[in-house]
Amino acid sequence: MATLARKNLTIGLIPADGIGQEVIPAARTAIEAVGSDIPSPKFIDLAAGFETFTRTGTALPPETVETLKEECDCALFGSVSSPSRKVVGYSSPIVALRKILDLYANIRPVVSVSPVVGVPPDIDLVVVRENTECLYIKQEELRVTEQGKEARATRLITERASRRIGQMAFEIALNRPRQHLTVIHKSNVLSVTDGLFRETVRAVPGIEPKYQKVTVMEQLVDSAVYRLFREPKVFDVMVAPNLYGDILSDAAAALVGSLGVVPSVNAGDSFVMGEPVHGSAPDIVGQGIANPVASIRSAALMLRHLGYIKGADRIDNAVDSVVREAAFLTPDLGGTARTEDVVSEIVKRI
C-alpha cells in the first residue's frame, strides 16, 4: 500500500530507551547514504519512552505528538523499557502512538538470509498484526473480593478494525508470489471476539473481488506457534489480532537467528512508522554491540511503504549481502562485530 514518494521527506526520529538510542542513528545513517534516491531528507529528533517519563513525568510529550502530526511524513521508533511492574502515571508510548496516529497495522516480514548455524535458509513470511485493540486497549481493573484479589481486563475486537487489517493482509498477500493468507484466531474458545475477527477477515474477498485470487487458510493460534517452528514454510502471510500477532512475530524471529534482524512498520492510511522488533536490551546498552540490522531494515520497509522503492532496495540489498557473507555479525548472531562496524560496512555497500 505504498503512496507516491514525496519530493522532500521529513522523518521523525524517536530513539526512546536502551539500544534504541544506538540503532536509530544507524538507520538515519543508512537513509542518508542512499543519496539522490531520497533527496535531502530532513530529520527531527523527538523524545519519548520510560527514560523520558522518569525525567519529565510523561512518556509521550505532547510536543512529540504535535511534531509528528504537523511536520513529519513518517517516523522511526527505537525501543521502550516499559517496566513489568505497575508504575503510576506511566503507559507505553509506542502503544499510544499507534492509537493517536491510527497506525492500525503492524507489518513484520521474517526472512532468512543469515548463514548462522541452525537457521533455515528459506524462511519468507509476513506477520500482519492488528495494532489498535484486543487486550492492548489497557482497560484493566483490580478488585478485592472475599476470595482475594481479582484482576480483570477487557478485550475489544471490532468489525471495523478487523476488516481493515484484513484488507491490509489481503493486499500484502496479493502482491506476493504465493498469494496465500492464514487467519490466526482462537474462536473455538473465544467464539464471540475471535469469532468476529475470523468472520470479518474471511469476508473481505466478498467485498473486494480482486482478493479472491488469494488462497485463505486458518489456524488456531496455539497450533500456529507449533507449526511455525515445525513447518514454517507452510506460512506466507499471517494475519492476527494484536496479542497473537505480537507473540507470533517475536517467535518467528527465532527462526531467522535473532530479534536483531527483524524489522517492522506501523502503518495507517496517512502515516507510517518504522520500528525494529527487538526490545531495549538493557543487558547490552552502551557496549556498542547492539545489532543495527533490524532498525536499518525497518527504515527500508518504511521507505518502501512510502514509494521510495529504489532507495529501499539499495538498503535491503546492502544489508542482505553483509549478513550473508557473515564477516560482520554482532554477538547475537554469533559474531564479534561492533555496531559501528556493521553500519560502516552496510553504508559502503549502499
> Domain holding 128: CATH number?
3.40.718.10
C-alpha distances in angstroms, 48 versus 59, 90, 219, 336? 5, 12, 37, 31
Q: Is 331 within a domain?
A: yes
How confident is the model at residue 86, as a pLDDT?
Answer: 80
Mean pLDDT in the chain?
A: 92
HSE at residue 235, side-chain half, CA atoms within 13 A, is: 33
**Do 184 and 156 belong to one domain?**
yes
How confident is the model at residue 163, as a pLDDT?
Answer: 97
DSSP 189: T
Render pLDDT for 224-240 as a digit per residue (tens, 0 to 9).
Answer: 999 999 999 999 999 99
Over residues 26-52, mean pLDDT: 93
50 or 82, which is more confident: 50
Query: All 3 cell numbers of residue 341?
Result: 562496524
Q: Is 119 within a domain?
A: no
Q: Is 343 within a domain?
A: yes
**Do 128 and 250 belong to one domain?**
yes
89 or 158, which is more confident: 158
The proportion of the chain whose per-residue pLDDT surpasses 90, expressed as a percent, equals 78
Are residues 208 and 167 in contact, defined by beta-carbon separation less than 8 angstroms?
Answer: yes
Are residues 82 and 48 in contact, defined by beta-carbon separation less than 8 angstroms?
Answer: no
Residue in 124, 250, 313, 320 annotated catalytic: 250
Q: List CB contacts of 113: < 8 A, sequence separation 6 or more.
A: 256, 320, 323, 324
DSSP 1: -
Annotation says 316 is catalytic: no
pLDDT of 91 higher than 80: yes
Query: Please, which pLDDT band fits residue 256 given cuts at 50, 70 and 90?
Result: confident
pLDDT of 4 higher than 60: no
Residue in 246, 316, 332, 341 annotated catalytic: 246
Whole-model pTM: value is: 0.90
Q: Is 267 within a domain?
A: yes
Q: How many domains does the chain have?
A: 2
The backbone torsions φ and ψ at residue 306, rounded to the nearest 5 degrees and listed phi first, read -85, -5
Annotation says 236 is catalytic: no
Q: Which of 216, 128, 199, 127 is nearest to 157 (CA)?
A: 199
Render pLDDT for 302-349 as a digit per residue (tens, 0 to 9).
Answer: 999 999 999 999 999 999 999 888 889 899 888 999 999 999 999 999
Residue in 17, 73, 104, 186 annotated catalytic: 186
Domain of residue 293, residue span: 1-104+262-349
Residue in 42, 222, 226, 233 annotated catalytic: 222
